[in-house]
Amino acid sequence: MASVELSLTVRDLVHADLASCGWAGSARHLAGMAVQLDRARRGDVDYLAVCASADIPVAKGGVDYRVKGGVGTLWQLAVHPALQSCGIGTVLIEAAEQRIVSRGLRQAELDVEDSNPRARALYERLGYVAYDRRPDAWDEQAPDGTLRRHETMCTVMRKELS
């Protein structure tokens, strides 16, 4: 087995990155990301890109400051499928937490689906503690373009940032 070292930078995601984010989801998801970049311009959210040396995003995720007062809510976290389990998600989450702290806030929260125990284990390892559960639902776009309602149960987790 060969291994390589990657130098990663974390920066704000920009509209021009969306063309390189096809790995992150459907056309509908990418259109939703574009809407979130408009919210980022207004300061309502941070939307981050983790890039390798070519400055192309290999991971992305946001912090929404409007879900709950005084709290940064992490959401839409995703690492390129070919690069998961290498520590990039950890880099992304730590950078998101730094953004929250830099706004003078001390609380991070996120939702994780019950069907995603690996993500939950990662969040627990990073210090997130479950404190509530809630149902959630959204429309998902299949590769043929059709929409399907996805209904799920989530655990709500939080972390006090120092």
Ligand X SMILES: CC(C)(COP(=O)(O)OP(=O)(O)OC[C@H]1O[C@@H](n2cnc3c(N)ncnc32)[C@H](O)[C@@H]1OP(=O)(O)O)[C@@H](O)C(=O)NCCC(=O)NCCS
Binding site for ligand X (CB under 6 A): 77-79, 84-90, 112, 116, 118-119, 121-122
CA distance 132 to 28: 29
Pairing state between β 129-141 and 147-160: antiparallel
Which residue, 85 or 162, is less far from ligand X as judged by CB?
85
Whichever of 21 and 78 has its CB closer to ligand X, that residue is 78
Q: Compute the least distance from the CB of residue 5 to ligand X, in Å.
A: 10
Shortest gap between Cβ of 102 and ligand X (angstroms)? Answer: 22
- Cα–Cα nearest to 45, from 13, 8, 23, 93: 13
Taking the complex as a whole, the smallest distance from the CB of residue 109 to ligand X amounts, in Å, to 12
Residue with nearest beta carbon to ligand X: 89
Q: Which residues contact 13 (CB under 8 A, 6 or more apart)?
A: 33, 37, 40, 47, 48, 49, 57, 60
